[in-house]
Amino acid sequence: MITTVALTKRYGRVTAVDTVDLDVREGDRYGLLGPNGSGKTTLVRMLLGLVFATSGRIEVLGRPVPRRVHEVLPQVGALVEGPAGYPHLSGRTNLRIFDAAGPGGSRRTRRRRVDEALDRVGLGGIDRRPLKAYSLGMRQRLGLAGALLRTPRLLVLDEPTNGLDPRGMREIRDLLAELNAAGTTVFLSSHLLAEVEQLGNRIGVMDRGRLVVQEELATLRAPTGRVLVRSPDAARAAALLDGRVEARDGDALTVRHDDPAGLNALLVGEGLRVAEISAQRRSLEQIVLAATTTSADRIEAVP
């Protein structure tokens, strides 16, 4: 669905995107993560033909971008850097104008498609208040409605849950999962690790313009070869597992072992009590922190 080869964007001496090889496959729920200033938004804008690359190659839906972006856009729904619109007009009117100005929209079905898109994002009861009176969360919902007007094959979203409360975030996440299950590929850029961890099946991590991680989430979170054990008999367990205990914190042990069931059987067989046992897995936060450097918006004091 999306392929880039050595994609690079420079602004003078600053390299915003550095030789990125992106691979988003049909049916993916692909989450692009990274610190502020890592190049995520610049990359997204290049995929949509909004910014021209300095070098490299982009294909979206099998078409070169930006050369044939006009063939791609009717099949793509996008929300980048927040929704735009005419502040004095209502949300519904803004959507109708947006649909009329975009490629491939049918005038005959416009009213129905606008109403259906508003219903899907939780704005079905929207009134005539102007866009300037909308909350940030309502604006995000409206922007997502605009991305859904034409039943896209591909959704490209930049921070789609920005400004939403926890319930709203859950609703949008469920909607994206539903759309994906119906055949829409979802590509989203976000700094919200928990949202991506719950929705995504493949992950990319940007750092200082480079794509430093690109892998299946299940692979990234595979067992580490260690087992977490909680036992009232932690001291005896540590003595029994001589040399295999890598860390102890009260009744919690981290044990070098690749079979939780086998370890549990060993401990119980020796008469030790086991309150909890599980394979250790890295969280997405740990994966991202290990792959990235200091956030670009951090300013250290000079000694």
Q: Between β-strands 76-79 and 154-158, what pairing exists: parallel, antiparallel or unpaired? A: parallel
What pLDDT does residue 125 have?
Answer: 87
Alpha carbon of residue 109 to chain centroid? 32
Q: Does the fold of domain 223-281 match that of domain 2-220?
A: no
Per-residue pLDDT of the chain (303 residues; tens, 9 = 90+): 999 999 999 999 999 999 999 999 999 999 999 988 899 999 999 999 999 999 999 999 999 999 999 999 989 999 887 677 889 999 899 899 888 877 666 778 888 889 999 999 989 888 889 999 988 888 888 989 989 988 899 999 988 888 788 888 888 899 999 999 999 999 999 888 888 999 999 999 999 999 999 999 999 999 999 999 999 999 999 999 988 999 999 999 999 999 999 999 999 999 999 999 999 999 899 999 999 886 655 545 555
What pLDDT does residue 54 have?
Answer: 97
Domain ranges of the chain: 2-220, 223-281
What pLDDT does residue 279 have?
Answer: 95
For 93-133, give the secondary structure using H, E and C: HHHHHHHHHCCCCCCCCHHHHHHHHHHHCCCCCCCCCEHHH
What pLDDT does residue 103 have?
Answer: 64
Instruction: Please tell me what DSSP assigns to residue 217.
Output: H
- CATH topology for the 2-220 domain: Rossmann fold (3.40.50)
Continuous H helices in 48-87: 69-72
3-state SS assignment for residue 269: helix
pTM for the predicted model, two decimal places: 0.84
Residues 6+ away with beta carbon under 8 Å from 145 = 91, 95, 114, 117, 118, 120, 121, 123
Q: Which CATH number does the domain 223-281 belong to among 2.60.40, 3.30.70, 3.30.1360, 1.10.10?
A: 3.30.70
Burial 27-53, CB ≥16 within 10 A → b, else e: ebbbbbbbbebbbbbbbbbbbbbebeb
Q: Between β-strands 14-20 and 2-11, what pairing exists: parallel, antiparallel or unpaired? A: antiparallel
Helix (H) or strand (E) holding 166: helix 166-181
What pLDDT does residue 100 have?
Answer: 81
Residue with tokens 């994609």: 7
User: Of 81, 82, 80, 179, which Cα lies nearest the Cα of 121?
Assistant: 179
Distances 261 to 24, 113, 229, 274, 282 between C-alpha atoms, Å: 36, 53, 11, 11, 19
Strands ordered across the beta sheet of 202-207:
76-79, 154-158, 185-189, 29-33, 202-207, 210-216
